[in-house]
A and B are shown apart, each in its own frame.
Chain A
Amino acid sequence: MNAPGASISLVGHIALLALISFGGVPGVLPDLRNFVVTTNGWLTDQEFANCFAIVQAIPGPNMILMMSFIGWKVGGLPTAVAAALVTFGPSCAVAYAAFHYWERFRDTIWQSRIRRGLTPVIIGLVTAGGYAMARTVDAGWIGVGVTVGAGGLLLGSRINPLWLLGAGAVLGGLGLV
């Protein structure tokens, strides 16, 4: 457990990062890693990587949980709760206010044009995020097969994706991925 000053400093830094995380929280993770691991030495590199890996495999709001786990390691439960609140609180207020105006001008020509231009780029970025996640797995035929199989079955069948994640977990647990 660190001094209370560490918790305040961490929560303040997370609040700042969350407010500038345009495009999603994963984009600010490199900065957070520098702050937590390199600058302050609160977590080791491996602990930080574990926090990221764990939140992919548990239910719940994963980036908020990741901030909470880092908060928990630095200052226990109160810091974990504070880290969660500053991750989504301010950005929710921004989203609510911005959406109000977005909907109000929904039928204008300029907004329709922005939507038609913005959406394909964002879909490409989201898809690249999936590719990056698959690539964190060491390249191997079974790992690639799990990724292609999960994507293909999602598109080509009505199977519940939980089965696909479960199959990946079992193959990984057997040491095959």
Chain B
Amino acid sequence: MADSLEAGPPSPRITLPALFVTFLTVSMYGFGGPIVWARRIIVEQRGWLSDGDFADILSFCQFLPGPNVVSISVCLGAKFRGPAGALAALAGFILIPWTVGFTLGTVFLSYAHTALLQGVLRGVAAAAGGLILGTGIRLLRAHRRRPIALVFAALAFAGLAAAKLPLLIVVLGLVPLSIVMAGPAPAR
């Protein structure tokens, strides 16, 4: 593998129902943060993308407005199967999970003040935070041979988490510099 960021050819076996079911699964598992599940299911279980390609699509979608994982479903659906694929992935991600989540949530909201539910929510948030941290480290492994990439990931993390800078400042301050420092891709 000369460059782990390069795409393999899209598999012809990715059907519209497979897109629907996969993004339905990502969405239904999406406690805490759907990115954890999107990476686990699409990269590890289905093998549709490498970690590097997944991180590329994630960063592209993170840069666009709107809910990121919804954008990821649209982009991956479009990548594999064109407009119909985008619709199948989007429908899978939204229709059933929204209905289930909305029903459950309206019930939960009426008990949101109880000590038991507040405790459960704290415990889930603690675990979900750890899962997102672990997923970030996993995605960074595709860049482990580029020290400059690790430095910029660390700076972005520190800017938001430690220095508590506004998101826009961190993005505008680091992205142009990171692109300049990245240099041209190695010859293949």
Residue ranges of A at the interface with B (Cβ–Cβ < 8 Å): 18-25, 27, 46, 50-51, 53-65, 68-69, 72, 80, 84, 87-88, 90-92, 94-96, 98-100, 102-103, 106, 109, 112-138, 143-144, 146-155, 161-162, 164-165, 167-177
Q: C-beta contact mask, B121-132 vs A, less than 8 Å → 1, else 0? A: 111111111111
- Find the A residue at minimum CB distance from B30: A59
Q: Measured between alpha carbons, how far is A134 from B90 in the docked complex, in Å?
A: 29
- Find the B residue at minimum CB distance from A171: B123
The answer to whether A124 and B157 have CB atoms under 8 Å apart is yes
- Find the A residue at minimum CB distance from B86: A96
* A68 neighbours in B (Cβ, 8 Å): 98, 102, 105
* B27 neighbours in A (Cβ, 8 Å): 59-61
| Minimum C-beta distance from B20 to chain A (A) | 15
The answer to whether A126 and B125 have CB atoms under 8 Å apart is no
| Minimum C-beta distance from B2 to chain A (A) | 13
Q: C-beta contact mask, B68-109 vs A, less than 8 Å → 1, else 0? A: 111100110011000100100010011001101110111011
Q: Measured between alpha carbons, how far is A20 from B63 in the docked complex, in Å?
A: 11
The answer to whether B100 and A60 have CB atoms under 8 Å apart is yes
Tell me which of A95, A127, A132, A161 contacts B137 (CB under 8 A): A127
Tell me which of B65, B127, B136 contacts A126 (CB under 8 A): B136
Given A54-B112, A118-B175; A19-B65 close (CB under 8 Å): yes
Given A64-B70, A95-B64; A122-B105 close (CB under 8 Å): no
- Find the A residue at minimum CB distance from B155: A124
| Minimum C-beta distance from B76 to chain A (A) | 9
| Minimum C-beta distance from A168 to chain B (A) | 3
The answer to whether A164 and B31 have CB atoms under 8 Å apart is no
Residue ranges of B at the interface with A (Cβ–Cβ < 8 Å): 5, 7, 27-37, 40, 55-56, 58-71, 74-75, 78-79, 83, 86, 90, 93-94, 97-98, 100-102, 104-106, 108-109, 112-113, 115-116, 118-140, 143, 146, 149-150, 152-157, 159-161, 167-168, 170-171, 174-175, 178-185
The answer to whether B156 and A56 have CB atoms under 8 Å apart is no
The B interface is mostly helix, strand or loop, or mixed, namely helix
Given A65-B105, A95-B61, A172-B124; A117-B130 close (CB under 8 Å): no
Given A125-B160, A137-B122; A56-B31 close (CB under 8 Å): yes
| Minimum C-beta distance from B56 to chain A (A) | 5
Q: Measured between alpha carbons, how far is A90 from B74 in the docked complex, in Å?
A: 12
